[in-house]
Amino acid sequence: MATKEKLRKAILNKIKKLSDDKLSNLDAYISDLESHLSTEKSTLSFSGIFKELELTELTSELHKSREDNNERIPQF
């Protein structure tokens, strides 16, 4: 957190030293940057990830698989 604060202060100090004619360019650049960067975190989607997965081995055949010492299914 301290690093972010130091960076913000350093940026603000640089902005304070800019000449007035460059401030409008900086403002335009920041506005453009804000429009391209999304601050919202995207939601992970698992839609369809299990589409081809056969779950019978993990459900109805679980006990049989454990008896057969099937290494594909971890025993807890």
Q: What is the pLDDT of residues 29-41, one digit of tens each?
A: 999 988 887 655 5
Q: How far apart are CA 58 and CA 61, in angstroms?
A: 6
pTM score: 0.43
Closest to 57 (Cα-Cα) out of 72, 40, 47 = 72
pLDDT at residue 7, as a whole number: 94
Does the pLDDT of residue 18 top 80, yes or no? yes
Mapped onto helix, strand or coil, the DSSP state of residue 4 is: helix
Residue matched to tokens 């919202």: 40
Tokens describing residue 12: 């603000």
Tokens describing residue 58: 């993990």
pLDDT tens-place string over residues 49-62: 666 666 665 666 66
CA angle 10, 30, 39 (to 5 degrees): 95
Chain mean pLDDT for the chain: 76
